[in-house]
Amino acid sequence: MNGERGGDLGGDLGDSRVLVVGGSSGIGRATGIAAAKAGARVAFAGRRTELLEEAAAEAGPDALALTCDVREADQCAEVVARTVDRFGGLDHLVLAVGMTYLCDVVDTTAAQWHDLAATNLIGPALVTTAAIPHLTDVRGKVVFISSAAVIGPWPGLVAYAAVKSGLETLARGLQDEHPTVGFSTVAISSTTTDVLQGIDRATLKARFSQWRERGFVSRGEMSPHALAEHLVGLLASPLRLPFVLAVPPPRPSAGPEAPRSGTG
Ligand SMILES: NC(=O)c1ccc[n+]([C@@H]2O[C@H](COP(=O)([O-])OP(=O)(O)OC[C@H]3O[C@@H](n4cnc5c(N)ncnc54)[C@H](OP(=O)(O)O)[C@@H]3O)[C@@H](O)[C@H]2O)c1
């Protein structure tokens, strides 16, 4: 651990090369910046080029902004190739890419199912497929960000969780196929990000009320920065941590108000 470069928990990433897909905002952005502070060269990937460039600028002169949409198979391979071209290899891959809808399973359209699967499971699988030859050479790590909603069920997030739960199966299977690479799934609970920003207020209010009734949101939210320190620690650790569940600590006194942003 190197407290000066990587924070109290972050660990030292030396000169390692890290690709964060879903690096334009939220947990991915925070993780990329924490990784850069811990000594890594970081590529931030996602669709919003301006945000990626801002994240790369904050991370330092060696960082890279790569526009890509993981729903497009060729872009999944390309984002890895561009990272390797620039950095001369790849040591770690963080899949923080994700999106959700908030609706019951029976109201989830075919197009929404395809979008959920393409973004949350197939895209991450294809990026990982392209990265594995590089990660194998260096005994690198892959971290898939999943959701505590896979344990739920959180009303409104069941379709999302069904897709996200595939990440754990994927990670276990990939671990068997590629034993020198370390695969982790980190299932996280509510974290303060904009992941629900596209959802209308009435729907959000109704769903938070259901989640409160189930006791899912009584603990408050985690900050993406606190989570990022742990994710960097996971990358830097000599240990293998196949499955991690990250939840916020209990509130000092459980208040009635709803969290503002995160999902399960
Ligand atoms: N916040 C929570 O409470 C919570 C709870 C459980 C799990 N999670 C998971 O945590 C991860 C990070 O989410 P977050 O909370 O940090 O929300 P966020 O800020 O919305 O981050 C999502 C990231 O995914 C990227 N992304 C979405 N669709 C993409 C696509 N088609 N191609 C490439 N990149 C795409 C977004 O970038 P662009 O829009 O620029 O493409 C963004 O960088 C996600 O996997 C999410 O499912 C979050």
Quick check: 190 pLDDT over 60?
yes
DSSP state of 122: I
Atom of ligand 1 nearest to the CA of 224: 16
Ligand 1 centroid to residue 120 C-alpha, Å = 9
Q: Say if ligand 1 is within 6 A of residue 178 CB.
A: no
Range in 73-77, 78-82, 198-202, 254-258 the model is least confident about:
254-258
Indicate the Cα dihedral angle 109, 186, 168, 161, nearest 10°: -20
Atom of ligand 1 nearest to the CA of 190: 3
Ligand 1 centroid to residue 98 C-alpha, Å = 4
Which amino acid residue places its CA nearest to atom 14 of ligand 1? Answer: 26
Contact 162, 113 (CB under 8 A): no
Beta-ladder partners of 191: 222
Please provide the distance, in angstroms rounded to a whole number, between the alpha carbons at the two ends of the chain. 30
Quick check: 245 pLDDT over 60?
yes
Ligand 1 centroid to residue 46 C-alpha, Å = 9
Reported residue count of the chain is: 264
Contact 193, 264 (CB under 8 A): no
Which amino acid residue places its CA nearest to atom 23 of ligand 1? Answer: 22
Quick check: 41 pLDDT over 50?
yes
Map residue 244 onto helix, strand or coil: strand
d(CA 195, CA 28): 12
Which amino acid residue places its CA nearest to atom 32 of ligand 1? Answer: 69
- Could you report the per-residue pLDDT of 96-153, keeping only the tens digit for each? 999 999 999 999 999 999 999 999 999 999 999 999 999 998 999 999 999 999 998 8
Which amino acid residue places its CA nearest to atom 30 of ligand 1? Answer: 69
> With respect to CATH, is domain 3-246 assigned 3.40.50.720?
yes
Q: Say if ligand 1 is within 6 A of residue 28 CB.
A: yes
**Residue 101: active-site member:** no
Contact 28, 21 (CB under 8 A): yes
Ligand 1 centroid to residue 239 C-alpha, Å = 26
pLDDT (average), residues 170-181: 98
| Prediction pTM value | 0.94
Q: What is the mean pLDDT of the chain?
A: 92
| Per annotation, catalytic residue among 87, 144, 154, 160 | 160
Tell me the backbone φ, ψ of residue 100, rounded to 5 degrees: -145, 165
Q: Say if ligand 1 is within 6 A of residue 96 CB.
A: yes
